[in-house]
Amino acid sequence: MIETLYGVLGAIASIGLYGLVLVVIGVLLGLLVGVLPGLTFVMGVLLLVPFTYSMDTGSALTLMLALYVAGTYGGALTSILLNIPGEPNNVPLLWDGHGMTRQGRAAEALGWAALAAFAGGLVSWVVLVFAAKPFASVALQLSSPEYFAIVLLGFASVLALTETSVVAAVIAMFVGMLISTVGVSQVTGVVRYDFGTTILRDGIDYLAVMIGMYALGEVITRFGQNFGGQVAQQPGRVATTIPGLRAIWERGGSFLRGILTGSLIGTVPGAGATVASFVSYGLEKQFGKHKREVGGASPSGVVAPQAASTATVGGALIPLLVLGIPGSAAAAVLLGVFLLHNVQPGPQIFVEQPELVYTIFAAFLLSLIFMFVIGILGARPLIRVLNFPEVYVSAFVVLFAFIGALALRQSLSDVWITLAFGVIGFAMARSDYPIAPLVLGAILGPLAERHFVTTMISSGNDWTVFFTRPISGTLMVILILLVLLLGYRAYRTSTQQPEEPERDGARQTEDT
C-alpha cells in the first residue's frame, strides 16, 4: 500500500507541463462534450482516438481519461440550468436539479453537483489505487476456466441491468459476439465469414463498430429528426455555491449510496454512468433519509446520481487494468488505446509496467481536481456553447468518426465497416434492440471464445472443469442464479400487457 502511494505521488510529481496541459485539454473537452447535445462522452473518447496515435501510451491515456472523467459531470450544467440533459447519465438531475433552479436555488444545485462529482470520483479513485494491485495478485492465479466464467458473468450482469427486453439484449449480445468471429480465428488461425473479401478477412475491429454505432448512428438519427428538440434558453446569472460542512454531513447518506452504487456498477462490463445514475436515484427515492423530498427539489436527488456517475470511472478501470475487461464503453475505448500501443492490460501490467499504472492513477486524480475547478469557473461559458446549432457539431462528428476509423488500421475497410454499423445502429435503435450488449459482445466475444476453447482443449473436452475448479465453480453458480432471474424477468415481461416501446431506453448511449 505504501509502495503504491509512493508510486502515485511520484507519478503526479513527474507528470510535467505536457501532462498537465493534456489533463486540462481533456477536462475542457469532456465538459464541452457533456454540455453539447448529440455528443456523449463515449463518443468524445472515441473521436479522440486518432489524435493519440502519435502520443506515447501514458499521454494518450491521460488525455482520454481526463475527457472521460469530466464528461460524466459536464451534462449536469445543462440539466440543472436548462432542463436539457447533456448526457444520458444526467437525466435524473433534471428532476431535482432543475427543480431547485425553478426555486431560485440554481447556484446551490450546481454546487451540490460539482461536489458530488468530485467526491464520487475521489472515493472511486482511492478504491482503484488501493484495491487494483491486490486484485491483480489474485487475478494472476486465475486461468482460462475462471476468465471464461468472469466474462460470462459480465455478459449476464449487462443483461440483468438492461432497460429493454432481455431477449432483445441477448440477441444483440450474440450478434456482437458473432461479429467478433469474422476474420482469422485467434485460436485456430482459420479464416471465418470472409466471403472472399479482403475487408472481412482482416476482421472487424470493435472500435470501428463502436464509432459507427455510437457516433454515426446518433448523427443519422438526429439528421432524421432535422435536429429538432429542445431549444436552450440562456439562463440569467450562472453561479455556483459550494455547500457548507453541516449541509454535507446532513446529506452524507446520499453521497455514500451514490458512491457505492457507482463504484460497484462501474465494475460491471456494459453498465456505466447512466445505469449507475438511475439506480442510485431509485435507491435514494426508496431508502434515502430525505426520500420524501426526492423528485421535487432535493439536493439528495442531485448528489446521489451525480456521485454515482463519476464513481463509475474508478469502478470501470478496475476490471480494465486487472483483467483486461473494460467496465464501461469509455473503458472499452481505453482498452483499444492500450492495444493500439501494443500494451495488453491485465494483472501482468502491474509487474511489467507499473509506471504506466501509476500514470493512470495520477491522471485520474488530476482530472478530478481540474474538473471540479474548471466546472465551477467555466459553467457560464460552457452553457453559451449551446447557442451553436447542432448540425455543425454533427457534421464534424462524422468527420472525426471517419478519421478515427481510417486511423485504426490505415485502411478504408474500417471506414466502410463504421458506415455499415452506423446504419445498423440506427436500425437497431428503431427496432428497440439495445446497442450496448452488441458492442460488449464484439469486445468480449474473442476473450470468451479463446478461454472456452483453451479450457476444452486442455481438459480433453471435459466441460465439468468449469464447475469443479473452486473459483470458476462459484462464479458459474452465481451465473446460473442470474440467468434464472433473467429468465423469470423475461417471462414476466412477456405475460404483461404490451407497452409502447421507449426509443431512448433502447439506445443505451454511452453505457456498454
Partner 1 sequence: MSEKAVSDSTDEQRAQEAGTKERHLVSRSLLLSLIPEVVLLAAAVYLFVVALGFRQVGPSDQIGPGFWPQVLCVGIGIGALVRLGQKLRSRERRVVRDAASEADEVRMSRVVLGIALVVGYVVGMLFLGYILATALFLIAFIYLGGQRKWYVVPLGIASSLLFAYVFLKVVYIALPSGVGIFDQLTVLLYEFLGIY
Answer positive or negative: Cα dihedral of 271, 272, 276, 279: negative
HSE-CB of 387 using CA atoms within 13 angstroms: 7
Shortest gap between Cβ of 152 and partner 1 (angstroms)? Answer: 12
Does residue 278 touch partner 1 according to CB under 8 A? no
Rounded Cα distance, 490 and 509, in Å: 22
Q: Are 304 and 251 spatial neighbours (Cβ–Cβ below 8 Å)?
A: no
Shortest gap between Cβ of 40 and partner 1 (angstroms)? Answer: 17
Does residue 430 touch partner 1 according to CB under 8 A? yes
Shortest gap between Cβ of 425 and partner 1 (angstroms)? Answer: 12
Q: Out of 343, 373, 391, 478, which residue is the one contacting partner 1 (CB under 8 A)?
A: 391
Among 469, 491, 477, CA closest to 152: 477
Q: Out of 168, 248, 320, 363, which residue is the one contacting partner 1 (CB under 8 A)?
A: 168
Q: Out of 422, 425, 434, 437, which residue is the one contacting partner 1 (CB under 8 A)?
A: 422
Shortest gap between Cβ of 183 and partner 1 (angstroms)? Answer: 11
Q: Number of residues in contact with partner 1, rule: CB under 8 A?
A: 66
Q: Closer CB to partner 1, residue 53 or residue 287?
A: 53
Q: Closer CB to partner 1, residue 57 or residue 312?
A: 57
Shortest gap between Cβ of 179 and partner 1 (angstroms)? Answer: 10
Does residue 480 touch partner 1 according to CB under 8 A? no
Shortest gap between Cβ of 232 and partner 1 (angstroms)? Answer: 14
Q: Closer CB to partner 1, residue 17 or residue 190?
A: 190
Q: Which of residues 54-113 bind partner 1 (CB under 8 A)?
A: 54
Q: Closer CB to partner 1, residue 354 or residue 505?
A: 505
Binding segment for partner 1 (CB under 8 A), chosen from 29-37, 89-97, 127-135, 446-454, is 446-454
Burial-class residue 236 by CB neighbours within 10 Å (0-12, 13-18, 19+).
exposed
Q: Out of 129, 159, 175, 307, which residue is the one contacting partner 1 (CB under 8 A)?
A: 175
Q: Which of residues 223-242 bind partner 1 (CB under 8 A)?
A: 223-229
Q: Out of 5, 21, 395, 481, which residue is the one contacting partner 1 (CB under 8 A)?
A: 395
Rounded Cα distance, 274 and 286, in Å: 18
Which residue, chain included where needed, has cell 488501493?
130
76 phi and psi, to 5 degrees?
Answer: -60, -30
Does residue 482 touch partner 1 according to CB under 8 A? no
Q: Out of 415, 440, 479, 506, which residue is the one contacting partner 1 (CB under 8 A)?
A: 415
Question: Please, what is the angle between helix 354-377 and helix 106-139, to 10°?
Answer: 170
Q: Out of 132, 204, 220, 486, which residue is the one contacting partner 1 (CB under 8 A)?
A: 220
Q: Out of 3, 13, 17, 188, which residue is the one contacting partner 1 (CB under 8 A)?
A: 188
Complete DSSP assignment for 347-380: TTHHHH-HHHHHHHHHHHHHHHHHHHHHHHHTHH
Among 441, 387, 462, 417, CA closest to 211: 417
Amino acid identity of residue 55, one-letter, is M
Radius of gyration of the chain (CA): 22
Residue partners of 197: CB distance under 8 A and separation at least 6: none
Q: Out of 193, 459, 485, 489, which residue is the one contacting partner 1 (CB under 8 A)?
A: 193
Rounded Cα distance, 300 and 83, in Å: 17
Shortest gap between Cβ of 68 and partner 1 (angstroms)? Answer: 20
Q: Are 80 and 302 spatial neighbours (Cβ–Cβ below 8 Å)?
A: yes
Answer positive or negative: Cα dihedral of 312, 313, 314, 316: positive
Q: Closer CB to partner 1, residue 370 or residue 402?
A: 402
Residue partners of 49: CB distance under 8 A and separation at least 6: 64, 207, 333, 336, 337, 340, 404, 407, 408
Shortest gap between Cβ of 120 and partner 1 (angstroms)? Answer: 31
Amino acid identity of residue 510, one-letter, is E
Binding flags for partner 1, 484-503, as an x/- string (CB under 8 A)? ----------x---x-x--x
Q: Out of 94, 130, 143, 221, which residue is the one contacting partner 1 (CB under 8 A)?
A: 221
Does residue 442 touch partner 1 according to CB under 8 A? no
Mapped onto helix, strand or coil, the DSSP state of residue 199 is helix
Q: Which residues pair with 183 in a beta bridge?
A: 192
Rounded Cα distance, 139 and 319, in Å: 10
DSSP 385: G
Q: Closer CB to partner 1, residue 192 or residue 289?
A: 192
Q: Out of 12, 453, 478, 482, which residue is the one contacting partner 1 (CB under 8 A)?
A: 453
Q: Are 90 and 75 spatial neighbours (Cβ–Cβ below 8 Å)?
A: yes
Shortest gap between Cβ of 393 and partner 1 (angstroms)? Answer: 10
The residue ranges that bind partner 1 (CB under 8 A) are 50-51, 53-54, 165, 167-168, 170-171, 174-175, 177-178, 181, 185, 187-190, 192-193, 216, 219-221, 223-229, 389, 391-392, 394-396, 398-399, 402-403, 406-407, 410, 412, 415-416, 419, 422-423, 426-427, 430-431, 433, 449, 452-453, 456-457, 461, 494, 498, 500, 503
